Amino acid sequence: MPELPEVETVRRGLEPRLLGARLERVEVREPRLREPVDRGSLERLVGSSVEAVRRRAKYLIIETSAGESLVIHLGMSGRLVWSKQSSELQPHDHISLWWSSRHPAAHQELRYNDPRRFGLVLVIPRSGMETHRLFSRLGPDPFSAAFTAEHLHSVTRRSRRPVKNMLMDARVVTGIGNIYASEALWLSRIHPATACRRIAAPRWRRLHDACRDVLGAALRQGGATLNDFRDVEGSRGYFAVRLQVYDRAGEGCHRCKATIRRVVQAGRSTYYCPRCQR
């Protein structure tokens, strides 16, 4: 499921149905996620209503009238789905949240499904958000004013670290995952192994713009796929987006026809064009 465009798409799908809704009931069938799910803290939210549905990095934040927020991270394989009334439990449906609102009289069940269980569901006080361990060290969101080419330049000035690894470091910038890191580097024609200290201002500007372009385009696509996501049950996600390099090893570069390569950096696959990325 997750990189920033997908998480934001989920947020936009949740918002209209959750705003003003009241949490009626919680069921945790499998608490063993990245951290154990604390049933008690979820129970405390029952009876409160939703005041905002936000996103920070890849975390979804559901702010409630209880002064506490429900924080959800989808990890690698997490999904949130509105399930039809009393529809059969699927494998890995770990948590159910039942909500009520005035308009549809019937209760709505939101299920958290996560085969690999790398996700996270927890409750934190709303006032302590920015100082919480999950959020305190995060860099800017790619669409925030704080995310600038100068920021990228200054933060990484002395580093020999490969630029691709830097792009995926949430302390530098949040929300850019393995797919869009490769895509943004392809778009800005920068070789993924380039040491950050060797990158000068003009290329940082190109990379900065490429991050926004790539994420923005995916976001527009995500919104489009969500429409049929509601009725149909299939998760399309990334495959609706036209990716230029990711998972295209051995195929031709869409710009120069050279053969796309796959390498491993910090344990993750990187795809790039050896001819037009320098």
Q: Which of 20, 31, 140, 162: binder of DNA (CB under 7 A)?
A: 162
Q: Which of 19, 46, 129, 134: binder of DNA (CB under 7 A)?
A: 134
Question: For this structure, is 58 an active site residue?
Answer: yes
Which tokens is 222 given? 């995500």
Closest to 212 measured CA to CA, from 135, 152, 277: 152
Q: Which stretch binds DNA (CB under 7 A): 10-18, 40-48, 70-78, 204-212?
A: 70-78
Q: Which stretch binds DNA (CB under 7 A): 12-20, 46-54, 116-124, 200-208?
A: 116-124
* Residue 56 binds DNA (CB under 7 A): no
Torsion-angle region of 72 (φ positive above 0: left; ψ -120 to 50: alpha; else: beta): beta
What DSSP state is assigned to residue 93? E
In sequence order, the 6+-apart residues with CB closer than 8 A to the CB of 194 are: 162, 163, 278
What DSSP state is assigned to residue 105? -
* Residue 82 binds DNA (CB under 7 A): no
* Residue 201 binds DNA (CB under 7 A): no
Find the catalytic residue in 22, 58, 164, 189: 58
In sequence order, the 6+-apart residues with CB closer than 8 A to the CB of 59 are: 7, 71, 72, 73, 120, 134, 135
Given the rule CB under 7 A, which residues bind DNA? 1-3, 6, 32, 34, 57-58, 73, 75-77, 91-92, 115-118, 134, 159-162, 165, 168, 170, 177-179, 196, 237-238, 266-269
